[in-house]
Amino acid sequence: MVSMKQAATKAGDTEKITINLGYVDLGHIDLLVSEGVYANRSDFIRTAIRNQIDRHAEITRQSVARKSVELGLRHFRRAELETLQSAGEMLDIRVLGLAVIAPDVPAELARATIASIEVLGSLQASPAVREALADRVR
């Protein structure tokens, strides 16, 4: 099992998000940065998010167990999906983290082998695969 505390270490291991903050909250962050408590705004925000994740770790653990969610990074390669197709099987994908459907997976193969997909985090797939699975994404 992947630890919920694992931090991304490379730029490719992260996803950019945008948030809106009030001026006073932003001022507090800038003050803490100027005092050297945090390296920059992003450092503060990442730390705050990790603290909240830690604070609610038990809720997350229970939910992951109840929903049979895979934690971390999960790759779905063409060969794996072709094997499933040959066996007449389909996947119900549930990932908390990053799910990657390999770039060489044709949309038809994805549609033939993925019954449903729920990703709490980020899904990387070609535009064609995303379109083919649009009605199966929760």
What is the pLDDT at residue 76? 97
**Tens-level pLDDT at each residue, the chain (138 residues):** 333 334 444 546 788 889 999 999 999 999 999 999 999 999 999 999 999 999 999 998 888 788 788 889 999 999 999 999 999 999 999 999 999 999 999 999 999 999 999 999 999 999 999 999 999 998
What is the pLDDT at residue 5? 39
What is the pLDDT at residue 68? 83
What length is written for the chain?
A: 138
Cα separations (Å) of 137 from 70, 94, 115, 133? 16, 10, 9, 6
- The whole-angstrom separation of Cα 9 and Cα 11 is 7
φ/ψ of residue 87, rounded to 5:
-85, -5
